[in-house]
A and B are shown apart, each in its own frame.
Chain A
Amino acid sequence: MTSEMREITYRQALNEALAEELERDPNVFLMGEEVAEYNGAYKVSQGLLERFGPKRIIDTPISENGFAGLGVGAAMVGLRPIIEFMTFSFSFVAFDQVVNNAPNMFTMSGGQFNIPITFRGPNGPAHQLGATHSHATECLYANVPGLKVCAPATPRDAKGLLKTAVRDNNPVLVLESELLYSSKGMIEPAEIELLIPLGQAEIKREGSDVTVICYAQTVPLALTVAQQLEEEEISVEVLDLRSIKPLDERAIYSSVAKTHRVVIVEQDRPFCGVGAEVCYRIQKNIFDQLDAPIARVSQEDVPMPYNERLEHAVLPNAEKLIAAVKKVCYA
């Protein structure tokens, strides 16, 4: 980090990443619904049509399967498509392209065709969007060999991971977060090339009593809770996974080896969720380091209700996280 750090929004950070990669490599193009003339449903692609023109910033009809597949085909012959899903809840309409065509091609062709494609867009529950628009898809996509999955929580991570994703020679899903688009954070000056490798977690706050493992929307939640618990003399280490797959197991184990207590707070659902995998790996590899059973905080296992009070009850929240931390600390 340098002394000339500046503050920008998560949305601006993504916009910078897109602009820089489009500028750097003529093979990169951005395609999706409303990305060009409308400047993006969430304004992430603001100004890009004006700067790069309609050949590289391309509006599509509402045909996720069609344009996701177009991206995969273009990637087969060396272009580097960035495919925006207006939300990852809509990626299910293109599920076959994302889980069958993109990640299988390299294997099925005996290594002849790699697919350097980025699928990006907001993922996870936002606010009162109901069951169809609130899916957290990370656990589904991380299950598929051949895909890489990251879920940045801060503007800096969003920019650095998106740029890395575009340069990766494999399909990478950059799971953004609608609720974070307007959040602000410190980042290097624009002229400094910011690349954050996939598979590298980051300690967002150091602590000694308990490790809270989080990513995306649950990072700000974990940081708030850590602050709150400091007053109760519980020192929380906040470990942001940043990438779901590849998973930074080393960072996880080294934090757990320090605190000996773990809470995983995830934005997806409990059954086969990201936390289930992380939990399994911790107990399998460093069981002796644990002083308490691992706790998980996730969504409740129900389709997302529209009602605000019920939605709050379904989501991971501060009360649940505090309770889980206290439980593993026997506090």
Chain B
Amino acid sequence: MPPAEQRDEVEMLWLMLLIRRFEERASQQYQAQKIGGFCHLYIGQEAVVTGAIAAIRDDDYLITAYRDHAHALARGTTANACMAELFGKETGCARGLGGSMHFFDKAHHMYGGHAIVGAHVPLACGLAFACTYRNEDRLTLCFFGDGAINQGAFHEALNLAALYKLPIIFICENNLFAMGTSVERSTSLKEIVDRAEGYDIPAAVVDGMNFREVRDKIAETVASIRKDQHSAFIEARTYRYRGHSMSDPASYRTKEQLEKYRLDDPITRLRAQLTREGKLTNEKFDELDKRAKETALASVKFAEESPEPLLEKLYNYTYAP
């Protein structure tokens, strides 16, 4: 992936396509029982992480929850390493020891992949604390879902971040459901974004289905933080097309709701914007989509052919030397 300043919108559209095609393949491979455990798909939410990535530097830090395949791909982890991780293979981005919910990639500043809801939000404070401690101007993007905002760890972390003026952007990917429980059934506030006010953290709402809106708001926030270090909170209103995980038929929501969001698809939307502006032809789009599909398919082949982690190495990753 090119550095941030060169990330043009066509490249970002390709990234969204890659995320979607990758996850469609993952879904298929899960059904074929090549992938075990839990598998949470991001399909529908692509504009959020892609918009965010388009606004930050490669050396900024990123940490997220368990719906993390897209975040790793957006950071630059290869589709091969991601699919191999889902297959539990030695070539995976966590050597097959993490699985779907625990993607890590140190070289690309991807700090997980964390599966206890809300528990990684304090870790984001630590990443940002380290930057401040070392007088670096990096910042940390911390993603989490609407389900995390009622966890104690989330509240403790926001207070610490505001208190210590840590350079973090907290990004709540509000997809309306914490597993099967809707926001109105879980949260006393009407607007999630108002949570930030209680910690004196500046906050904004963005349309999480709109790449440009996400990117521009985050870019503006990034500039503000780099100028005068502080924390910020962004609620990205988005939607996942699939269930909470592969085993969830999502019977708690209506077909009409799903259709409404599908019509507002982030990929279709950016494609239309670019086409209208003469920056993208249908041929170019088809070529991008073909490349995304091929990359996803190749990752399955790579994962299938990759070796399992060695049994003899079982004890090698419990304690660091």
Residues of A within 8 A of B (CB): 29, 55, 60-61, 63, 65-79, 81, 96-97, 100-101, 105-114, 116, 145-146, 148, 169-170
B122 within 8 A of A: yes
Query: Contact between B112 and A109 (Cβ–Cβ < 8 Å)?
Result: yes
11 CB < 8 A contacts A-B: A29-B133, A60-B160, A67-B122, A67-B160, A70-B122, A72-B123, A96-B119, A106-B317, A111-B320, A169-B319, A170-B320
CB <8 Å contact, A75 and B126? yes
Question: Does A108 contact B94, Cβ atoms closer than 8 Å?
Answer: yes
Residues of A within 8 A of B111 (CB): 73, 76-77, 113
Report the nearest A residue to B102, measured CB to CB: A108
In the complex, the chain B residue whose C-beta lies closest to that of A31 is B129
Verify B125–A70 contact, CB threshold 8 A.
yes
Residue B280 lies at the interface, judged by CB distance under 8 Å to chain A:
no
Q: Binding site of B, secondary structure by majority: helix, strand, loop or mixed?
A: mixed
Chain B residues with Cβ under 8 A from A63's Cβ?
156, 159-160
**A108: contacting residue among B63, B97, B105, CB under 8 A:** B97
B98 touches A109 (CB 8 A): yes
Beta-carbon contact of A70 and B129 below 8 Å: yes
* Contact indicator B126/A76 (Cβ below 8 Å): yes
**B92: Cβ under 8 A from any A Cβ:** yes
- Partner of A109 from B104, B119, B125, B130 at Cβ < 8 Å: B104
Q: Output the least CB separation between B81 and chain A (Å).
A: 10
Starting from the known contacts A69-B156, A112-B104, A113-B111, 16 additional A-B residue pairs (CB-CB under 8 Å) come to A61-B159, A63-B156, A63-B159, A65-B152, A66-B160, A69-B122, A70-B125, A73-B124, A74-B133, A79-B130, A107-B317, A110-B92, A110-B317, A111-B317, A112-B94, A170-B320
State whether the Cβ of B198 lies closer than 8 Å to any Cβ in chain A.
no
Choose among B61, B63, B104, B130 the residue that contacts A110 (Cβ–Cβ < 8 A).
B104
CA distance A170 to B319 in the complex (A): 6
Tell me the B residues contacting A by CB distance below 8 Å: 61, 63, 92-98, 102, 104-106, 111-114, 116, 119-130, 133, 152-153, 156-157, 159-160, 163, 316-321
The 7 closest A-B pairs by CB, nearest first: A73-B126, A69-B122, A66-B156, A110-B95, A114-B320, A73-B123, A109-B104
Distance A108 CA – B321 CA, assembled complex (angstroms): 16
Smallest beta-carbon distance A127→chain B, Å: 30
Nearest neighbor of A27 in chain B, beta-carbon distance: B133
Give the distance in Å from the alpha carbon of A117 to the alpha carbon of B208 in the complex.
37
Cβ-defined contact, B133 with A70, below 8 A? no
Cβ A73 vs Cβ B94 within 8 A: no
Interface centre among A29, A55, A105 (most CB of B within 10 A): A105
How many interface contacts (CB-CB < 8 Å) are there between A and B?
143
Asked if A66 contacts B157 (CB within 8 A), the reply is yes
**Nearest Cβ distance between residue B131 and chain A, in whole angstroms?**
8
Residues on B with beta carbons closer than 8 Å to the beta carbon of A110: 92-98, 104, 317
Give the distance to chain B from A183, nearest Cβ to Cβ, in Å. 31
Residues of B within 8 A of A97 (CB): 119, 122
Residues of the A chain whose Cβ atoms lie less than 8 Å from the Cβ of B104: 108-110, 112-113
CB neighbours of A61 from chain B (8 A): 156, 159-160, 163
A170 to chain B, nearest CB (A): 5
* B contact residues around A112 at 8 Å (CB): 94, 104-106
Q: How far is the CB of A221 from chain B (nearest CB, A)?
A: 32
Q: How far is the CB of B69 from chain A (nearest CB, A)?
A: 15
Per the bound structure, the CA–CA distance linking A148 and B318 in Å amounts to 11
Chain B residues positioned under 8 Å from A169 (CB to CB): 319-321
A68 to B316, CA, bound (A): 25
A256, chain B: closest CB distance, angstroms: 26
Chain B residues with Cβ under 8 A from A113's Cβ? 104, 106, 111
CB-CB under 8 A from B128, the residues of chain A are 73
Taken together as a complex, chains A and B put the C-alpha atoms of A75 and B105 apart, in Å, by 16
Inter-chain CA distance A79–B131, complex, in Å, is 10
- Report Cα–Cα, A71/B98, bound state, in Å: 21
Chain A residues whose C-beta falls within 8 Å of the C-beta of B98 in the assembled complex:
108-110
Which residue from chain B places its CB closest to the CB of A67 in the assembled complex?
B160
Also in contact, A109 and B122, with CB within 8 A (given A63-B156, A73-B127)? no
In the bound complex, residues from chain B placing their C-beta under 8 Å from that of A105 are: 112
Q: How far is A67 from B320 in the complex, measured between Cα atoms in Å?
A: 23
Instruction: Tell me if A146 and B122 are in contact (CB < 8 A).
Output: no
Q: Are A107 and B97 in contact (CB under 8 A)?
A: yes
User: Does the CB pair A109–B102 fall under 8 Å?
Assistant: yes
Bound CA–CA A117/B242 (angstroms) = 39
Assuming A108-B112, A110-B317, A112-B106, is B123 touching A101 (CB within 8 A)?
A: yes
Question: Are A79 and B133 CB-contacts (below 8 A) given A73-B124, A107-B97?
Answer: yes
A148 contacts across to B, CB distance below 8 A: 319
Most central of A66, A76, A79, A106 by chain B CB within 10 Å: A66
List, in ascending order, chain A residues with CB within 8 A of B123's CB.
69-70, 72-73, 76, 101
Cα-based distance from A116 to B321 in the complex (angstroms):
11
Q: Which residues of A contact B121 (CB under 8 A)?
A: 69
With known contacts A73-B123, A73-B125, A73-B129, A106–B318 Cβ distance under 8 A: yes
Q: Which of B63, B127, B160, B320 has the most CB of A within 10 A?
A: B320
| CB of A217 to closest CB in B, whole Å | 27
